Amino acid sequence: MSNFNKELVQLHNIMKEQTAPHTLSEYIDKYPDRLVRDVKDLLAKEKLTSLINGDTACYDATILEDGTELFVEVTLDDSGHVEDCYCTCNTGFCIHLAAVLWKINEELNRRASPVLP
Ligand SMILES: [Zn+2]
């Protein structure tokens, strides 16, 4: 197993630790450099085709990868911790989840910043 895959498995294990939920930025801080590059690349190529914030803390995203649509669901709790997340590619912590968490974090930061007159 490559180092990169090991790092993804580590992230997946953190994700499964229900006793200690982490915030979005805590996950993103743990992204290995290569994952950050891949996430930025995925977003730059506009593979993330939709991100819907339905319920207050529930996000549904669609990613188009090699002609296949993947669906990602992320649920945050009241304090912004990642309660649950799932991707239909079903390979544990994948680039798709990583990209959606990244994008949600960006959106939240954008919303939190004051709007200048
Ligand atoms: Zn995936």
- In the reported structure, the alpha carbon of residue 19 is separated from the centroid of ligand 1 by a whole-number distance in angstroms of 24
Strand partners, 62: 50, 71
DSSP at 17:
-
Spatial distance between the Cα atoms of 8 and 32, rounded to a whole number of angstroms: 8
106 half-sphere exposure, CB direction, 13 A CA radius: 10
CB atoms within 10 A of CB 71: 14
CB 62 within 8 A of CB 11: no
pLDDT per residue rounded down to tens, the chain (117 residues): 678 888 888 777 766 665 567 889 888 998 999 999 999 999 999 999 999 997 778 999 999 998 999 999 999 988 888 888 899 998 878 999 999 999 999 998 888 777 666
- In the reported structure, the alpha carbon of residue 87 is separated from the centroid of ligand 1 by a whole-number distance in angstroms of 5
User: Would you list the domain boundaries of the chain?
Assistant: 3-112
Q: What is the pTM of this model?
A: 0.84
- In the reported structure, the alpha carbon of residue 16 is separated from the centroid of ligand 1 by a whole-number distance in angstroms of 16
Taking a 5 Å cut-off on Cβ, the residues next to ion ligand 1 are 87, 89, 94, 96
